Structure 1
Amino acid sequence: MRPRHLAGDDDELADRVAGSLSDAGWTSWTTAHSALLYLSPRGLAGAEWVRHSHDFLLGDLPVAWQVSARLHPDSAMMEWNAYFTTGTPPEAIGDFLLAVEARTDPAVNYDGRERVLDTLSALGWVRDIDLPDSRAWEPGMSAGFAWAELPEMIRDADPRPGLSGWQAWAEPLIGEPYQWAAAFSASVPHDLVAAFASSLASPAPVLRRNPPENAAGRLSVTPAS
């Protein structure tokens, strides 16, 4: 099934992402709030399934996975956070997490915003006419990526109010509810966001049994070989 950004999570977002993390050697345990927490092999990143532990909304959708990174394994302070709602394609979250783990220093930023926009452009997305340096759209306008002021609930090591960061979303029909949304706090390295963007915009088909109804007219099915 394609495009990936509209294929949904098959109602298996917890299991699909958790499976990817387990295969990559992340360890897991259940927190005091009954949330499932995964820790990367180097101890520098964590991914927590928070869907049932609190009601944090992005685009009126519940946040399901929260990802964090720190400078040192023994540091109590998280440098940045990333948030993904229900409906987000699990392949994109998984590829983002693998990119985080591949970094020996996932809290250090080396690139500028162009890294994300260039990645999307290479996969056929188009830059916004009015905001070419901070926004890109899927050609059919069913999904967007933007560098913009973040919602108040997004947490980052930088405490200043009004910070900007990357946000992404899918809106199969303009004016209709979002299918999913994601937000990256101000300090998330741009190359890691680009890994999410690259996976999200990939033309490769994905396997789905329960495609989202609100994208039915915009999905194509690829026969199994």
Structure 2
Amino acid sequence: MPFSHRHNPTHGPSSDGPAVRVSPRYLAGDDGLLADRVTAALTGAGWSHRTTRHSTPRLHSFDQLRGADWLQGAPELFLDDSVVVWTLFARRHVEGLPVWTAHFTLHTPHEPVVAFATALATTPDVVRGTESGRAALEPLAEADWAPDPTDAGNTFWAPRLQACVSHRALPPEIHDGNPLPDLPGYLAYAEVADLAPRQWVAAFSPSTPPDLVRAFTECLADPSPVERTTVPADAEGYLFYT
């Protein structure tokens, strides 16, 4: 499916009170916890806080070669008209540009973002090369996501076609340290119906290590229910409650 710009859906509570368990998680939203859960995962891994010259919070590893910027207060990038709120990256030198970048818009379910952030914080080498590949898509095939018949091996669709992950060309705003042009990266998103506004979008530049992206896709495709006190308003009729 071509990448297009659309308006972000309105998210609202489905209920007040105790949390409920819902699936699939790719339609469950972030429950307003995307900032807190990712921050907790990274600080739990020993990362520190500082404020950038743009007055945005940055979490960084001890050697400052891995980082994460929370950008909701100072949006810099939009995917499908939805603001990117987390940008994670790795670099080879403290003063160097990122080797790769990963971006997550508002309302991305926090579980797969936490899985990616945890992999970033704990994997020994996250700038070992500039290769990309399809290994990150294997968890989707194992979870019975359907390969796109027009893009076999590169694009997988969730049951009911409400989420997609594709190894493909990315928008030019997604920066990467590989000097070769037009390399594919990964794009993931969810929408309740074809041509409906996308709930969230995630993009991983071409040099993002496939095993880190795999941590994201494996968690995204996990059929286990997740706890929510609120869910996206447009997904209420498509969620299963347990």
Is the structural similarity TM-score above 0.5? Answer: yes
RMSD: 1.7
Residue among 32, 36, 49 paired with 1:28 = 49
Distance across 2 between alignment mates of 1:110 and 1:58:
23
- The higher-RCO structure (CA 8 Å, 6+ apart) is 2
**CA drift at 1:173:** 1.6
Task: Report whether the alignment pairs 1:61 with 2:104.
Answer: no
Question: What displacement does 1:171 show?
Answer: 0.8
**Partner residue in 1 for 2:10:** none
Q: What amino acid sits opposite 2:222 in the alignment?
A: S
1:165 counterpart residue number: 185
| Matching residue within 114, 136, 140 for 1:120 | 140
Aligned residues: 221
SS in 1 for 2:160: coil
* Unpaired runs of at least 5, structure 2: 1-21
The residue aligned with 2:200 is 180
TM-score (norm 2): 0.86
How far is 1:109 from its partner? 4.5
Instruction: Tell me which moved more, 80-89 or 126-135.
Output: 126-135
What residue in structure 1 maps to residue 3 of structure 2?
none
Shift in Å at residue 179 of structure 1?
0.2
Query: What is the percent sequence identity of the aligned residues?
Result: 38
Structure 1 unaligned regions, length at least 5: none
Residues 125 and 109 of structure 1: CA distance in aligned 2, closer, same or farther (over 3 Å) = farther
How far off its partner does 1:16 sit?
2.1
The answer to whether the 8 A contact 2:145-2:157 is kept is yes
Spell out, residue by residue over 1:71-121, the C-alpha distance to the aligned partner (whole angstroms, 9 max, x if none): 35x352210000000010111111101111221111125986331221111
CA distance in 2, matches of 1:40, 1:207: 29
TM-score (norm 1): 0.92
Pick one of 151, 163, 180 that aligns with 1:143: 163
3-state SS of 2:125 partner: coil
Structure 1: distance between partners of 2:123 and 2:195: 38
